[in-house]
Amino acid sequence: MVKLSVIVPFYNVQTYAPDTLRSLRANTREDFEFLLVDDCSTDGTARILDRAQEDIPGVVVLRHEQNGGLATARNTGLNAARGEYVTFLDGDDWLAPGYYEELVSRTEALGCDFVRTDHVESERAARTVRRVPHGRRDEVMNPRDAILPAERSTSVDYPYAWAGVYHRRLLDKGLLHFTDGLRTAEDRPWIWRLHREAESFAVLDILGLFYRRGVTSSLTQIGDVRQLDFIRSFDQVVRETAEDKDADALLPKAVRTYCAIISHHMKSIERFEPPVARALKSMSGAALRRMPQQVLDDALDSMDLERATLLRRLRRRPATSKEKTAA
């Protein structure tokens, strides 16, 4: 039986893919499989993956006929996964040797639905350890208890799918798939759903995953319209949280986080193409007006003056004709 399925989407990362694949080779085990999803790359990535399928035990290459984005590529891997455990890796990141073996062993010992791990952020020559914002380690807990408090960074603010491993029972329950087609912030509804609906989780003190920051082809570095999918993503977080049995307690966290992300994008609006910048303002204003207004008012009252003023101004922007028609 396959113990671990590792899902790795690739799209035009021929510069970095060899490092990623070398690190997978250093993590092979006879009961591990590596599902490499080529999301219709147009550079030399496809040839690199073909060679990997011949050279690295456990590698299976899956191909898209058209580019679908990270969420769709991960779903392709999930649909093919056979492992008792599932994890993710991005096609431009890498691992320390033996990382997955230790991760699976320690997760099995705990017996929980999923674990979260710290990671190392790499930007040029700099290395920075990024910690899961949750203090209790190596202890099985209720993931719902790690969502709050609203005013502080918590486990749902650390959404990286690759920073952890997930038992197959979550896949069988439909909790591991991503919202198809989301181009950015695809892991936000995903992590919220895990924390609301899984039964147990833990945080492990284990380092061995290296996240490459500042890649010029990364969507986080590109100011085009795909960035605006964060609005669709957080609309889903708020909508699904509003349907939860603990909505009154959890909605302030969801709304406050949504506001923080809108503010973040607005403060760096100059990096967007002009039409996208205009759409960002319009869509952010509409998003604020869609939120539960009393919850939003309470969130704004608790924020610093600069951010609260910016968001209140956005909320007052006149609705566009398209918004009025949709309403």
Strands (E), 77-227: 85-88, 94-95, 114-117, 119-123, 126-130, 164-167, 201-204, 209-212
- What is residue 290's predicted lDDT score, i.e. its pLDDT? 97
| Residue scoring higher pLDDT (215 or 182) | 182
- What is residue 327's predicted lDDT score, i.e. its pLDDT? 34
Q: How large is the average pLDDT for residues 298-310? A: 96
- What is residue 323's predicted lDDT score, i.e. its pLDDT? 45
Q: Percent of the chain, pLDDT > 90? A: 91
- Is it the case that residue 208 has pLDDT exceeding 80? yes
Q: Where are the alpha helices (DSSP H) in 154-304?
A: 168-172, 187-197, 229-242, 247-267, 274-290, 293-301
- Is it the case that residue 304 has pLDDT exceeding 50? yes
- What is residue 35's predicted lDDT score, i.e. its pLDDT? 98
Q: How confident is the model at residue 224 (pLDDT cuts 50, 70, 90)?
A: confident
Residue 44: closest CA among 93, 73, 11, 7: 11
- Is it the case that residue 277 has pLDDT exceeding 70? yes
- Is it the case that residue 203 has pLDDT exceeding 60? yes
Q: Tokens representing 116? A: 């979260």
Q: How confident is the model at residue 325 (pLDDT cuts 50, 70, 90)?
A: very low
Q: How large is the average pLDDT for residues 62-68? A: 95
Strands (E), 4-92: 4-10, 32-38, 59-63, 85-88
pLDDT tens digits, 72-116: 999 999 999 999 999 999 999 999 999 999 999 999 999 999 999
End-to-end CA distance of the chain: 52
Q: How large is the average pLDDT for residues 299-313? A: 96
Q: How large is the average pLDDT for residues 246-268? A: 97
Please name the residue that has the structure tokens 């060899």.
Answer: 18
Q: How large is the average pLDDT for residues 147-155? A: 96
pLDDT tens digits, 152-199: 999 999 999 999 999 999 999 999 999 998 999 999 999 999 999 999
pTM beyond 0.85: the answer is yes
Q: How confident is the model at residue 326 (pLDDT cuts 50, 70, 90)?
A: very low
Q: Which residues contact 19 (CB under 8 A, 6 or more apart)?
A: 94
- Is it the case that residue 225 has pLDDT exceeding 80? yes
- Is it the case that residue 223 has pLDDT exceeding 80? no
Task: Compute the mean pLDDT over every residue in the chain, rounded to the nearest whole number.
Answer: 94
| Pair 6, 59: CB distance under 8 Å | no
